[in-house]
Amino acid sequence: MRIKRGNVARKRRNKILRMASGFRGTHSKLFRVANQQVMKALRYAYVGRKRKKRDFRSLWITRINAASRLHGVKYSHLINGLKVSNVAINRKMLSQMAVVDSDSFKRIVEMCIK
């Protein structure tokens, strides 16, 4: 007597097809193609989660650099000044201050230059 896998197989296939629901054409309709595309999409999603951290850090650095140059200081000199003056503030907060609260950012720049 053979074992029929109707329920298990259908559930597995439907799970993959649900994951592929936004894809275009055959990529969301046929199981084999959808399975390949879902696996590829999951790989891209994994890489993207790592990539996002790098992208945001580089955005913060760019913002800090632009704001500090308005006050006549290079980014590297500002970061070095922060380290020397023992100011523990991360790049995300610094960039937020540069965008939202430029007065306090200016005070931090002046404090680090001394």
Residue 22 forms part of a structural domain: yes
Residue 15 forms part of a structural domain: yes
Residue 88 forms part of a structural domain: yes
In three-state secondary structure terms, 21 is: coil
Residue 2 forms part of a structural domain: no
Residue 48 forms part of a structural domain: yes
Task: Give residue 68's domain range.
Answer: 8-113
- Alpha-helix residue ranges (DSSP H) falling in 1-101: 6-19, 26-29, 31-70, 75-84, 91-100
pLDDT at position 42 over 90: yes
d(CA 28, CA 36): 11
Q: How many domains does the chain have?
A: 1
Mean pLDDT of 65-72: 95
Mean pLDDT of 24-45: 97
CATH code of the domain covering residue 60: 1.10.1900.20
Mean pLDDT of 99-109: 94
Residue 55 forms part of a structural domain: yes
Residue 3 forms part of a structural domain: no
Q: What is the DSSP letter of 4?
A: P
- The reply to whether the predicted model has a pTM over 0.85 is no
Mean pLDDT of 76-95: 94
* 8 Å CB contact between 34 and 28: yes
